Amino acid sequence: MTITLTHFLLISAILFSLGMYAVLTRRNAIMVLMGVELILNSANINFLAFSRFGDMNIEGQMAAIFVIILAAAEAAIALAIVLNIYKRFHTVNVDEISFLKD
Amino acid sequence: MLETIVNNLSNIMPEVIVTVTLCVVLIVHLIDRKNMQIMTLLSIAGLFAAFYVLTESIGTNNSTFSGMLSVDPFAIFFKIVIVFATIVVVMMSRFSDEINAEYRTIGEYYFLLLSMCLGMMFMVGSSNLLMMYLTLEMSSLSSYVASGFTRKAKDSSEASLKYLLYGAFSSGVMLYGISIIYGLTGTLDLVGINHVLMQGSSSHLALITASIFILVGFGYKISAVPFHYWTPDVYEGAPTTITAFLSVASKAAGFAMMMRAFKVMFIDSSVLDLPAGAWTLISGVQIQNALMILSVLTMTLGNLVALWQDNVKRMLAYSSIAQAGYMLLGLVVLSNDGFSAVMIYFVVYLFMNLGAFYVVMLLANKTGSEHIDNYRGIGKRAPLLSVALAVFLISLTGLPPTAGFIGKWMIFLSLINAKMIGIAVVGVLNSVVSLYYYIRIIRNMFLRDDQTETTEPIRFPLAQQILLMSLLIPTLYFGLFFNQLIEFAQLSVQMFGMK
């Protein structure tokens, strides 16, 4: 069986859905961020697959590199914020952090 | 290679100046931690220099860094709005007790503020989908940290977490949409995408899915319903100066990016002879209806929920959601008229919204709370401040003779010219609803007495009053003398690569 563009797109769609599911159902801030990470990487797979199989330019691979760097920066900032939250609230459960509400 | 980079740098001189300023601020912070004065002065000097260079470059229309960034009248207009908002916020921060209490890390505060400003300046010029995503994240990442700047306070920490979770999720979805667009067209350049889409061979379903995914990212940035969930919490929890900045500059940058993306990417360039600068979208991406629903939902929900808010900061957060709804109306029109109306609205919104948040901040400095009951009897104790707040709120409602009236008038006019009377009526009805909660604050200030019977006047230093006047006077001035503003906005609609 040869691996084609469709396979890659399928994988990325599955990853995206899993990421979406994690963001919507998990209550732990770290798990939500991992879901976001899945979404970013599913987009990366799309970029790479299109660039490789679609007879396209190298722009897609370039985009993927930038996104990887940005994901790292985002993770650093996200973990710092979550750490700060843990210090204040002694929990990282998103539902319990509701100091502000209507 | 090096020569091209240097040549390109001269095109983005304002951004270079802001970059240098933020580096200098960070270095000064390392040398002399507590010298707040010098860091304020440095930031303001750098921003004024950038502002000057921007005003000198009005009329430039070209593209730089191999088409990644456009330096066109449209971008310059929004850069002026953003830099001006940053200058005002830097001055506001000087008077904020909340920020002054954190004097040990004040250098980081200015650094974050300037890097937000830098990200937004790149946002309004970016004409490549990858660049759009990167600049959106650049301004977002600094915003997450800045909204949690008073990190010992619980509300501020919570604000930054909520902002982070919603922001990271929405921009991730947006990136997925961008990757689909790349797959359909083989390029990330907006003009290039337009060329491919005009040939009309792309799958409509994939295209509409991708554009809705991208809309999620934009909707989050401009806090449009249903992507607004972060807005009230972040605006209430973040330091007031940051809230003011996010509500004006961040929204302006998001709008500019959204307008450029939809216009350059999806314009049907074979139909160009419509009156009043109108244009149509390529068949297959008819997202006009989606935008219309979004805008009606945004203003209605923003206004209705604002009705029962007792925290003035939270009320202003909902009001700013509603204001985004009015501005979206200008996009729904799909014409240059509508776009210039949005741009006029942003100039007006800059003064009135920053002004309202400024007064809220000054009063919170003295009374320690933003609850609406604390505004009872303020009219007698601080007359100037109360009158100014009343003017800002009337302007936000959109009543003459304030500038807010001109902003709303231009938007409704463009709707009527495009024969969209129904949606204009919805907008007007929403303005009537908004009057109720704005008036509630004014009524508390002037007609209700303080139960604690404190009548001693609240005094404010001259410097704070000068900043107040410099926001109040334009709010009244543009309500009466608006021709130049309208002309400038109409000249600035022009985007690079568009006729």
Please check whether residue B371 touches A, CB under 8 A. Answer: no
pLDDT at B457: 85
pLDDT at B272: 67
Convert the pLDDT of each residue in B381-439 to its tens digit: 889 999 999 999 999 999 988 999 999 999 999 999 988 899 999 999 999 999 999 99
pLDDT at B104: 84
Convert the pLDDT of each residue in B296-305 to its tens digit: 999 999 999 9
Closest partner CB to A78 (pick from B133, B164, B305): B164
pLDDT at A56: 77
Q: Residue A27 and residue A95: Cα distance in Å, rounded?
A: 6
pLDDT at A55: 74
Chain B residues in contact with A26 by the CB 8 A cut-off are: none
Helix H segments across B279-420? Answer: 288-306, 312-332, 336-367, 378-381, 383-397, 403-417
Whether B325 is in a domain gets the answer: yes
- Could A89 and B180 be called an inter-chain contact, meaning their C-beta atoms sit closer than 8 Å? no
Shortest Cα distance, chain B CAs vs residue A2, angstroms: 20
Whether B399 is in a domain gets the answer: yes
pLDDT at B276: 62
pLDDT at B496: 83
pLDDT at A100: 74
Chain B residues in contact with A40 by the CB 8 A cut-off are: 172, 175
A32 against B456, higher pLDDT: A32
Whether B146 is in a domain gets the answer: no
Q: Which helix (H) or strand (E) holds B242?
A: helix B240-245
Q: Residue A67 and residue B419: Cα distance in Å, rounded?
A: 43
Q: Residue B257 and residue B222: Cα distance in Å, rounded?
A: 10
Whether B324 is in a domain gets the answer: yes
* Domains of chain A, first to last: 5-89 (1.10.287.3510)
SS3 B128: strand
Chain A residues in contact with B173 by the CB 8 A cut-off are: 39
Chain B residues in contact with A39 by the CB 8 A cut-off are: 169, 172-173, 175-176
Residues of chain B with pLDDT under 50: none
Within 13 A of B215's CA, how many CA atoms are on the CB side? 24
Whether B433 is in a domain gets the answer: yes
Domain residues for the domain of B357 are 296-499
Number of structural domains found in chain B: 1
Chain A residues in contact with B165 by the CB 8 A cut-off are: 23, 29, 32-33, 36, 94
How many angstroms from the chain centroid is the CA of residue B459?
31
Give the residue on B whose Cα is nearest the Cα of A32: B165
Give the residue on A whose Cα is nearest the Cα of B229: A101
How many angstroms from the chain centroid is the CA of residue B458?
31
Taking CA atoms, B186 is separated from A53, A62, B135, B179, in Å, by 11, 13, 21, 10
| Region A44-67 average pLDDT | 90
Whether B46 is in a domain gets the answer: no
Whether B301 is in a domain gets the answer: yes
- Could B169 and A89 be called an inter-chain contact, meaning their C-beta atoms sit closer than 8 Å? no
**Widest CA span in chain B:** 73
Judging by beta carbons within 10 Å of its beta carbon (0-12, 13-18, 19+), is residue B1 exposed, middle or buried?
exposed
Residue whose pair of structure tokens reads 């797979």 in the numeric block? A45
Its pTM stands at 0.95
Q: Does A102 score more than 60 pLDDT?
A: no
Give the residue on A whose Cα is nearest the Cα of B183: A50
Among A98, A85, A30, A74, which residue's Cα sits nearest to residue B151?
A85
pLDDT at B270: 79
SS3 A95: coil
Closest partner CB to B151 (pick from A29, A35, A84): A84
- Could A74 and B148 be called an inter-chain contact, meaning their C-beta atoms sit closer than 8 Å? no
- Could B179 and A43 be called an inter-chain contact, meaning their C-beta atoms sit closer than 8 Å? yes
- Could A98 and B137 be called an inter-chain contact, meaning their C-beta atoms sit closer than 8 Å? no
Please check whether residue B182 touches A, CB under 8 A. Answer: yes
pLDDT at B67: 87
Whether B58 is in a domain gets the answer: no
pLDDT at B458: 85
Closest partner CB to B155 (pick from A73, A78, A99): A99
pLDDT at A57: 83
